[in-house]
A and B are shown apart, each in its own frame.
Chain A
Amino acid sequence: MILSTHGIIGSSVTVASGDADALAFFTAAGITDTTQKSAINTLVTDLKTANIWSKMKALYPFVGGTAAQHRFNLKDPRTIDAAFYLEFFGGGTHSANGYQPNGTTAYADTKLKPFGVFNNTTYAHMSYYSRTSSGFNNLEYGMGSNDGVNNLSFVFRRANNLQAFVADFSNATYRMSLNSTSTNGSGLFVGTQQGTDIKLFKQNTLQVSNTVLGTGGVPPNYNVFIGALNSLNVGDGYTDKESAFASIGDSLTDAEAANLYTAVQAYNTTLNRQV
């Protein structure tokens, strides 16, 4: 009692307990390393302090180093599809640095269908922390869902070296694509839709923004893939960018996108895998 009151054992209690959401994740994903636990705990508290946590639907910290551990959604670490528990397909590589799709067959199925999760008032964001700077000659999606009419996706690279965040609902009535001529594929990419504006940030710098050409339409009703675009339940545009974090959630403001960068960069710096 006295020791606790005076904080003498306070620090050990804090490390052993931590944030309840972080604790649930440790238990589910089998995270035992103290550095990894500290990094996750700080990430969760930083996101909560910045009021970003509540906007997240899926947070994949890719920590632990194995495919089994990388499946867990930090926001809801249950092992069911409704918790957006990842299912890996193809030849991805899992390590202490995160999840690296192979650019030919690998992706992670999030089970998250944008239709029914996002709409024209909440909108959406996607983020992907890429540790791979080198180019790739094909169309390369970081993540996305496409039902043939509606498209919510993040594009690292097309054949002409353009980068984009796409929220294209019902083609001509709600078409958005943003292009940046950057050829560097590394850093935290954040694509966010803010009402009639769509923006793409990389490493806390606005790459490009644009406004909608129309309104209406609905988000696609196919699971978002990470590492490729889910085009009518078939992987398309596979990437080889190693991911050390990915998120899907409601729209972020410019300030929230900046705070997400700060939190994620600190998280990966603690794990010694920052770019």
Chain B
Amino acid sequence: MKVRKITTEQKDLLIGQTFDGVQYFNPTQDANGNWFISNEEVNGCTHEGVVEWIHTLEEIDHNPIINEAFN
């Protein structure tokens, strides 16, 4: 599964913004410390303010942090 890598500055820009007028971006950190958003957020983005750069984001493999929250 692929996701789109973003910088810390881009993460800060996306937090609190919707990508389609209803659903909010959710910048997430992976097991390598990279911030990323999903391809669905990129492909569904209609927000005027971020379309200039959001489609140029590098694709990386999804490498989630896995926490076992219970025994």
State the A residues within 8 Å of B (CB): 66-68, 71, 87-93, 102-107, 138-139, 146, 151, 153, 158-159, 164, 166, 168, 175, 177, 229, 231, 235-238
Contacts and interface: CB of A to CB of B under 8 A. Distances in A.
A107 B40 CA distance: 13
A106 B67 contact: no
Contacts, number: 91
A146 B69 contact: yes
Contacts of B37: 90-91, 105
Interface in B17-51: 19-20, 22-28, 36-44
A161 B44 CA distance: 32
User: Contact residue range for chain B?
Assistant: 20 to 34
Contact of A67 (B22, B28, B39, B62): B22
Given A67-B22, A91-B44, A93-B40, A103 B1 contact: yes
Contact of B64 (A66, A91, A104): A104
Contacts of B65: 236
A105 B42 CA distance: 12
Contact of A153 (B25, B27, B69, B71): B69
B71 A175 contact: yes
A88 B22 contact: yes
A13 B40 CA distance: 43
